[in-house]
Chains A and B, each alone.
Chain A
Amino acid sequence: MSGSAPTTLLAAAAALRGGETTAAALDAGLRDAADARAGDLNCFTWRAAAADPFPGCEGGPPAGASPLWGLGGAVKANICVRGRVADCGSRLLAGWRPPYQATVVGRLREAGAHLVGATVMDEFGMGSSTEHAATGPARNPHDPTRVPGGSSGGAAAAVAAGLAWFALGSDTGGSVRQPAHCCGVAGLRPTYGRISRHGLVAFASSLDQIGPLARTVADCAAVYEAVAGHDAADATSLRAPLGAPLDAAGRSAAGLTVGVPRGGPTPADADTVSDFEASMEALRAAGVTVTDIDLPDPDIMLAAYTVIAAAEVSANLARFDGAVYGARAVGDTYADMVARTRAEGFGREVKRRILLGTYVLSAGYRDAYYERAQRARRRVAAAYAAALSACDAIATPTAPAAAFPLGDKLDDPLRMYRSDVHTVGPSLSGLPALTVPTGRDRDGLPLSLQLTGPALGEETLFTLGAAVEAARGEGGGGGP
């Protein structure tokens, strides 16, 4: 795209409304950018062919159209698009084409958006780097020797590089927020039940949520507005009215209160601490009160998450037995066929978590691990509720440091898991959390702030996030 071309979703929508451009011209811009960079970044599982139409978008947007009208977005490869490959980053599901459509894909189409492709992810959502993707890792547009985060790393890389106006990822323990942090884009994990999970291939059902990634907080709000809301096809879907999330991104944050865990932003490296403090100063300057709150030790929350997610994945992935979905290996007995199919189809991280989940659910260990983790989860949720009774949102870093080099943590699962140490608390508590790009570290890599709100508090997060973004100057879609 030219230097004067819009770089954010809302700017593109305004240009369409004003007749300054067309949906076809914007789509051509995305295609050119993707032709130039998608191969190096390895961020797409599949890309829509140039001939794929987006019906009804030939003229300008009709009155009252969604800001997404005429714009191209991507979905993570575990969100079902009827007839298109949803491999979930796994060899076991290579080439698998779902016969039905996720609710969120239908809502994007109802809003007038079209899909530019599906994005690379860690296998079944397990990872913080996309290095556990069967098709190889996606790369960070800011520095291709670094990871884009995970598991929605391909989605974050595509948005940051300007190959899609927005993307939908999934977030179990931080899989939208941590890649948004690594790639310098905004990313939202909504309240549990706010966005339909119908058509999302399950990883850990009590934790999984679909969430938007976009280049600014307001762009993120626009995508959220298009896809959120009740869905009868998801038994966990909430019925609460949606409100006006996009308007919330334009409201003043003055008078709101943000809580910071006593002891400060820890664990975090020095650049992350400095960046976090600068964001708190920016909020104070915007009229926000910053106060101390108490939360459990982040390592405790990570331990509880690790156990619960593993337990759920060991049950959810039992259905990948070679009899119903994907690849099937030959074996003499049913058990032999299942074991061989799963041995050949699953990668190392998935096997690790299935075995861990089987262990923590097995006789003799369930009380020691799974039951304790569930009790810890209840205490974590209670601590968040108490903290949020004294403030409108909680501020922490999204991650302890900027994007790490490819291969750096691949052989040490606990170091990899610690990438999510700040994001698992909201996941365990079912709360919304927003990642806002805020600054750069000494190597020029993006850093960010995570804002966690009460259940259904997305609008407050958009208000606060937009205030931080405006003050810190990282919003606006400048990209790498």
Chain B
Amino acid sequence: MDAELIRRLETLAGLSCAPDEREALSRDLRGIVAFADRLAAFVEEDAPAGGPDDPHRADTVGVRADRPRPSLPRADALSGAAATDGDHVLTPPLRAGGGR
């Protein structure tokens, strides 16, 4: 869980963090992921991950690699978006009978 991985996760998650924030998040996530590692022993008491009884084996699920793609131009992406007042999106009018 280093700064490079955090940068990659930022891209996948549509976030951008400042360098000092990235460092702090990297440290926090290392601790949380280490805490989550204890799940391995717990679930493998039952059935080993990746074993013949594991319905989530990678070779049966066909996991593809995550690859960030180039972005759409801003104008194209927003062509169907709601109107704004400059800072905030304007709430569209309700269709008749659409409220509760």
A103 to B10 Cα, complex, angstroms: 35
By secondary structure, the A interface counts as helix
The residue that B89 contacts in the complex, of A324, A364, A373, with Cβ under 8 A, is A324
Name the A residues within 8 Å of B35 (CB-CB): 299, 302-303, 306, 414
Give 1 or 0 for each of B35-57: 1 = CB within 8 Å of chain A CB.
Answer: 11011101100100110000011
Please state if B100 and A306 are interface contacts (CB–CB under 8 Å). Answer: no
Q: For the complex, is A97 an interface residue (Cβ under 8 Å from B)?
A: yes
Contacting pair A372 B39 (CB below 8 A): yes
Interface size on B, residues (CB 8 A): 56
Bound form: Cα–Cα A22–B46 in Å: 61
Tell me the complex Cα distance, A314–B12, Å.
Answer: 10
Contact of A100 among B10, B18, B33, B100 (CB under 8 A): B100
Q: Which chain B residue lies CB-closest to A413?
A: B28
For chain B, residues 41 to 96, give those with C-beta under 8 angstroms from any C-beta of chain A. Answer: 42-43, 46, 49-50, 56-58, 63-66, 71-74, 76-78, 81-82, 84, 87-89, 91-92, 94
Stretch from A62-70, A168-176, A338-346 that touches the partner: A338-346
Q: What's the count of A-B pairs with C-beta under 8 Å? A: 174
A351 in contact with B81 (CB, 8 Å): no
User: Is the pair A327, B88 in contact by a Cβ cutoff of 8 Å?
Assistant: yes
**A233 lies within 8 A of chain B by Cβ:** yes
CA separation between A304 and B73, bound complex, in Å?
A: 39
Contact check, B49 vs A359: say whether CB atoms are below 8 A apart.
no
- Least distance between A154 CB and chain B CB atoms (Å): 23
- Chain B residue contacts of A340, Cβ below 8 A: 16
Q: A229 to B25, alpha carbons, bound, how many Å?
A: 41
Does A287 belong to the interface (CB within 8 Å)? no
Query: Nearest Cβ in chain A — how far from B24, in angstroms?
Result: 8
- Nearest-neighbor residue (CB-CB) of B13 within chain A: A358
For the complex formed, measure the closest distance between the CB of B27 and the CB atoms of chain A, giving whole angstroms.
10
Whether B19 is near chain A, meaning CB under 8 Å from some CB there, is: no
Q: How far is the CB of B92 from chain A (nearest CB, A)?
A: 7
Q: Is the CB of B12 within 8 A of A358?
A: yes
A469 at the interface (CB under 8 A from B): no
Provide 10 A-B residue pairs closer than 8 Å at the C-beta atoms, listed in order of the A residue.
A99-B91, A300-B42, A323-B78, A334-B71, A343-B15, A362-B9, A367-B49, A367-B58, A369-B39, A413-B32
